[in-house]
Amino acid sequence: MARKEGGKQKKINVRVDFTPMVDMLMLLITFFMLCTTLSKPQTMELTMPSNDPNEQEDQKSEAKASGAVTIYVAANDKIYYGAGTPEYTNPNWLKETTWGSDGIRKVLREHAVADGTKPVKQIELAVKELNVKRAQEPKMYPDSIYQKELSKLKGGNMPDGSKIQTLTIIIKPTDNSSYKNMVDALDEMQILSIGTYVIDKINPDDEKMLTEKGILL
């Protein structure tokens, strides 16, 4: 009986061409680079102390305090504020207001500093004038130039060359305040073109004052 010999398997070399895939990936990368706007860094404006040698230390402290406003973001959509240096033992220092144009926005607009000026109102007016100029001559105010001019205004540098004191806002959220209300508070800073603001923690004096006022922490 003849023995059947097993046939040898023929090896086939398979070559995968990745060139089309690489081309497609390069096209996708190019597409996303052209269509995606790179995020710009957010900056906080700092108000530098005055270098006027004729200005006394108590005058500097008074001016600095007059431009400070502390905002307390509390639970149940409540918002409170105090102007100037915190007066924890003064029951009338802390005041309640509401959100929106007739509440905290109006409070900040009407807040006057030591020399009697209302910086938020002045800066808002200057920003409106800047926006009108940009709308009339868009080529003269590309985004880089516009943001530079806006930054100057937020820092209190007026178009006429004068320098005004700006507000410093301290935002203090309580433990039970909502994330939405914190976003609302930051939105108010943008709406009013306030360049100097900071989010701070509730300290023991704040906690005692709020508790005595019956405010839910």
Which H or E element spans position 129? helix 119-136
pLDDT in tens, 51-91: 555 544 544 455 478 889 999 999 999 999 999 999 999 98
- Sorted by where each begins, the domain ranges of the chain are 60-212
The residue among 80 and 21 whose pLDDT is bigger is 80
Q: What is the pLDDT of residues 201-217, one digit of tens each?
A: 999 999 999 998 888 76
Q: Residue 80: which H helix or E strand, with range? A: strand 79-83
Query: What span, in angstroms and rounded, lies between the C-alpha atoms of 164 and 111?
Result: 14
* Cα–Cα distance, 153 to 146 (Å, whole number): 11
- Closest to 74 (Cα-Cα) out of 192, 188, 210, 189: 210
Predicted structure pTM score: 0.70
What pLDDT shows up at residue 149? Answer: 93
Phi-psi domain of 175 (left: phi exceeds 0; alpha: psi -120 through 50; beta: other)? alpha
